[in-house]
Amino acid sequence: MGRRRRAGLAGACIPEEYNGLGLGRVELCAIAEELGRAVAPIPFASTVYMLAEGVMAFGSEAQKSAVLPRVAAGEMIGCLATSEGPGVVTASNLACRVEGGKLTGVKIPVTDGDVADMALVLAAEGGKPGLFLVDLKSSGVSRETLKSLDPTRSVAKLTFEGVTAERVGEAGQGLEIVQSILDRAAVLLAFEQLGGADKCLEMAKDYALGRYAFGRVIAGYQAIKHKLADMYVKNEVARSNAYYGAWALNVDAPELPIAASAARIAASDAYWFASKESIQVHGGMGFTWDVDCHLYYRRSRQLSLVAGAPRVWKERLVSQLEQKNAA
């Protein structure tokens, strides 16, 4: 992907007043699906779904002006830094602190944290979680690139020692703001997952049609046919949920939390199944580094983990359903 074209894609949904293309979120979903299909090794999700969308939704005018034109021009890479260790981050275990506008603490892992220019960082201020915009080129920031299950996407440990941090959105609302950013990102990530899952099905189908065992193509064996049919079923459940999520995202519907959770759960399930069973259909070749299967297997894990694991979203979905049904 050329730099100019990448710049165009990154600014697809950024309003024209900030030098973006001013397109809708449905167009962004289409871009996401193709990135997923190609297992694109670029920091697009971190920059666009996390940083740009976060600033667009919650940033001040000054923050928008500082971030959005540069993202649209392809000059700024972003990231979202919430995790601090194994397990789920909560208000009670959040250790990063902002005092007097200075951020101190460690975030690990941060997807694209080693290449990003700007970060949205979850940290406690006055004992309550807030979200902060941090220029990673500032003094007091140190970064360490870490080994990842998915080496086509980078992850880092970010250490902040009294780094200037500017709050985004309301004080004390950090977890709610992050959840809102993640709701929106979940739909877009679901399209990346869907693109990957469909590609796995295609690769498995093509391989099965060309591979002979016992004098016949293996695609003719019922065990293989059922496996591919199972992939198709899961992928279509994921696609329909993703389309509904795209609508909710595009019009900012009140149904978004439910639609986004459903899209993410279905897409995570479909991609995991398709990526692992595509290896199985490829047999020994699928277990080698030389065949692309493992790139998708790895990316399916990366995409399921990056915005919170599926069980977190299952809990969110059911909580939302409970609230809705109680109302």
Partner 1 sequence: MDFNDSPEEAAYREKARAWLVENAAAHRAQFGDLKPNTDEHMAAAKSWQARKAAGGYACITWPAAVGGGGGTPIQSVIFGQEETKAGVGYGYFTIGLGMCVPTVMAFSNNETKQRFVSPAVKGEEIWCQLFSEPAGGSDVAALRTRAIKDGDEWVINGQKVWTTGAHYCDYGILLVRTDPDVPKHKGLTMFWIDMRDAAVECRPIHQMSGGREFNEVYFTDLRVKDSQRLGEVGEGWKVALVTLMNERLAVGGSSGPSYREIMGLARELTGPTGPAIKDNAFREKLADWYVQSEGLKFTRFRTMTALSRGQTPGPESSIGKIIAANQMQDLANTAVEMEDQYGILVDPDQAPAEAAFQQSLMWAPGLRIAGGTDEILKNIIAERVLGLPGDVRVDKDVAFKDMPTGR
Checking 278-287 for CB contacts under 8 A at 24+ apart, the result is 278/200, 278/201, 278/203, 278/204, 278/231, 280/227, 281/204, 281/207, 281/208, 281/218, 281/224, 281/227, 281/228, 282/203, 282/204, 282/207, 283/211, 285/207
How many whole angstroms separate alpha carbon 15 and alpha carbon 20? 5
Question: Is 217 an interacting residue with respect to partner 1 (CB under 8 A)?
Answer: yes
Question: Is 306 an interacting residue with respect to partner 1 (CB under 8 A)?
Answer: yes
163 backbone φψ class: left, alpha, beta (φ>0; ψ -120 to 50): beta
In the complex, least distance from residue 189 CB atom to partner 1, rounded to whole angstroms? 13
Question: Is 229 an interacting residue with respect to partner 1 (CB under 8 A)?
Answer: no
201, containing H or E segment = helix 174-210
Contact with partner 1 (CB under 8 A): which of 2, 100, 127, 284?
284
Pairing relationship of beta strands 78-81 and 118-125 according to DSSP bridges: parallel
Q: Which two tokens stand for residue 268?
A: 């995570």
In the complex, least distance from residue 153 CB atom to partner 1, rounded to whole angstroms? 8
Nearer to partner 1, 70 or 153 (CB): 153
In the complex, least distance from residue 41 CB atom to partner 1, rounded to whole angstroms? 15
In the complex, least distance from residue 299 CB atom to partner 1, rounded to whole angstroms? 11
Contact with partner 1 (CB under 8 A): which of 46, 47, 63, 82?
82
Residues 186-215: x/- map of binding to partner 1 (CB under 8 A)?
------------------------xxxxxx
Using CB under 8 A as the criterion, which residues of the chain lie in contact with partner 1 when the complex forms? 82-83, 85-90, 93, 108-109, 111, 146-150, 155, 210-217, 221, 223-224, 272, 276, 279-280, 283-290, 293-294, 297, 301-302, 304-306, 308-312, 314-316
